[in-house]
Amino acid sequence: MSEQLGLTECVSIALGGMIGGGIYAVLGVVAGVTGAATWAAFVLAGAVALCAGYSYNKLNVAVADGGGSVSFVQSLLGNSTLAGMLGWTLLFGYVGSMAMYAFAFAEFAVGFSVVPATVFALPVRPVVSVAAVAAFVALNLLGARTTGTAENVLVAAKVLVLVAFGVFGLVYATSLSDTQLSYGFGQLTTVGPVVAAAISFVAFQGWQLLFYDQESVENHVETIRTAVYVAIPAAVAVYVLVAVVTVNLAPEALEQHPHVALAEAASAMLSVVGLSGLGFVVISLSALFSTGSAINATLFSAAHFAKRLIQGDLLPDRFGDTETEGVPEKTVLALGAVTAAFAVYGSLGAITSFASLSFIVVFGAMSLLAFRQRNAVDADVHPVPPAVGAVGALGFAPLMLWNLYTREPETFWMVVVLAVLTLGAELLYFERDVIQHELGEFEDDIESRL
């Protein structure tokens, strides 16, 4: 059996990266914005992600060594500063994603009756989030890694649970209850679904992990291209199915307990056969498994990505020893520490919005790069998909920020502060030579005047 990953494994990795924890973490946040039209938000976000995937695939053909967004910018623009800032933004997006998964993991854990919500008047949720991150940091330090075959089984199980949930939910709603399904068609002419699509964008980022380890993929250009085009529509289909069922069967749960609404919907469905408790347990366990594996997989990929940034002098050497085999321990610990801090001090809405904003910027930038370089590279780039990806992704950002400013000002300012700190850190690091030079000239000028 070949050691390289084939199409099935690549589809599993891409699909697992999206469905692994995204639907459990973002559904409640998205539904809070657009209600019954949540399905439309996922369709729109998926369409923009697919256009971004097209851009990545074309750039991957144009750049001989592949490697993802950072390599694309370095090779086609020759701008290390821009490439490095893009790499940092992507890395912060991964941290936000892991914090989002850790937050959702804890919410589902606390949903079990045997787990107290507070201990000594202190909330348990942050403690569980930190414990989950710490556990997967330890697992990565031990060198554990899911093989391609195991990933196929894991993803198949996660998708099967969600599809079964969706299909049975539709049967229950249409045949076993008096529920009148609502699809929110009246909201399609409003800005709500577009804003919700922007917030949900983080749920469609897993596919681009394939571009960072291409040497382990058989016939990597063709295989990754096909995997991207299969995985994104499949994720959209699952999200739409789950969204329609949950919004219609658990509207009160989405308002009162949005983080565990899927489990509440499953409980309602199986109540018809007296198994409401079983439905809650099955979905909750699936959520714990999915969000946990998403933390693990994202941490593994983010650590390898950070190692490549260190090797390219785009991240300080103090974050890890690139000479070590595998992932540097310092890198894993640093990523875990920042993720834990986000999960403890941030709200789910702020974490989700910040992570989505990071991926919006990166995916929009890569789509714009593919559009502008379409005549300069031998990759047969059609202008429409990159244009849609650039306009769609970069158009999401102001809409999402406007929504937060008007609806959740505290979350808005938290996201703005995080974005400013990120940009400031990037500028200080990548423009440090220029800053030092300017400061030196300023000091010399002061000395000459004294």
Could you read off the pLDDT of 247-264 as tens digits, one per residue?
A: 888 887 777 777 677 777
Q: What is the pLDDT of residue 227?
A: 93
DSSP assignment string, 42-106: HHHHHHHHHHHHHHHHHHHHHSTT--SHHHHHHHHH--HHHHHHHHHHHHHHHHHHHHHHHHHHH
**Cα–Cα distance measured from residue 399 to residue 1, given in angstroms and rounded to the nearest whole number:** 49
Instruction: Give yes or no for a contact between 132 and 295, defined as CB atoms under 8 angstroms apart.
Output: yes
**Cα–Cα distance measured from residue 159 to residue 166, given in angstroms and rounded to the nearest whole number:** 10
* Cα four-point dihedral sign 55, 222, 3, 16: positive
Bridge partners (DSSP) listed for residue 234: none
Instruction: Give yes or no for a contact between 44 and 197, defined as CB atoms under 8 angstroms apart.
Output: yes
Q: What is the pLDDT of residue 134?
A: 93
Instruction: Give yes or no for a contact between 200 and 26, defined as CB atoms under 8 angstroms apart.
Output: yes
pLDDT at 201 over 80: yes
Of 27-41, 219-233, 278-292, the one with minimum mean pLDDT is 278-292
Residue type, 17: G
Percent of the chain at pLDDT exceeding 90: 16
Q: Of the spans 64-68, 330-334, 388-392, which averages the highest pLDDT?
A: 388-392
Summarised one tens digit per residue, pLDDT across range 127-155 is 999 999 998 888 878 764 444 455 566 67
**Cα–Cα distance measured from residue 65 to residue 155, given in angstroms and rounded to the nearest whole number:** 29
Percent of the chain at pLDDT exceeding 70: 88
Cα separations in angstroms, 303 against 38, 264, 289, 326: 33, 35, 21, 9
Q: What is the pLDDT of residue 75?
A: 84
The number of residues making up the chain comes to: 450
Range 431-434 contact pairs with CB under 8 angstroms and sequence separation of 24 or more? 431/81
CB-based contacts of 306, cutoff 8 Å, min separation 6: 91, 315, 319, 320, 331, 335
Of 33-37, 72-76, 172-176, 318-322, the one with minimum mean pLDDT is 318-322
pLDDT at 354 over 50: yes
Summarised one tens digit per residue, pLDDT across range 84-102 is 888 888 888 888 888 888 9
Which pair of tokens denotes residue 23? 């639907």
Residue 122, helix vs strand vs coil: strand
**What mean pLDDT do residues 108-134 have?**
82
Bridge partners (DSSP) listed for residue 123: 118
Of 178-187, 264-273, 368-377, the one with minimum mean pLDDT is 264-273
* Cα four-point dihedral sign 261, 262, 263, 265: positive
DSSP run (H or E) holding 240: helix 220-249
Average pLDDT of the residues of the chain: 82
Instruction: Give yes or no for a contact between 95 and 335, defined as CB atoms under 8 angstroms apart.
Output: yes
Residue type, 137: V
- Tell me phi and psi for residue 176, to 5 degrees: -110, 0
Instruction: Give yes or no for a contact between 63 and 75, defined as CB atoms under 8 angstroms apart.
Output: yes
- Tell me phi and psi for residue 217, to 5 degrees: -110, 130
**Cα–Cα distance measured from residue 261 to residue 242, given in angstroms and rounded to the nearest whole number:** 11
Q: What is the pLDDT of residue 146?
A: 45
**Cα–Cα distance measured from residue 304 to residue 212, given in angstroms and rounded to the nearest whole number:** 8
Q: Of the spans 185-194, 276-285, 437-446, which averages the highest pLDDT?
A: 185-194
Summarised one tens digit per residue, pLDDT across range 364-405 is 999 999 998 887 766 688 899 999 999 998 888 888 888 778
**Cα–Cα distance measured from residue 83 to residue 273, given in angstroms and rounded to the nearest whole number:** 56
Which pair of tokens denotes residue 268? 């309602």
**What mean pLDDT do residues 225-240 have?**
93
Other beta carbons within 10 Å of 110: 19
Q: What is the pLDDT of residue 145?
A: 46
Of 83-97, 289-303, 313-327, 412-426, the one with minimum mean pLDDT is 313-327
- Pairing of β 118-119 and β 122-123: antiparallel
**What mean pLDDT do residues 114-124 have?**
76
Split at pLDDT 50, 70, 90, the class of 1 is: very low
With 0.75 as the threshold, say if the pTM is over it. Answer: yes
H-assigned helices in 250-275: 251-256, 261-270
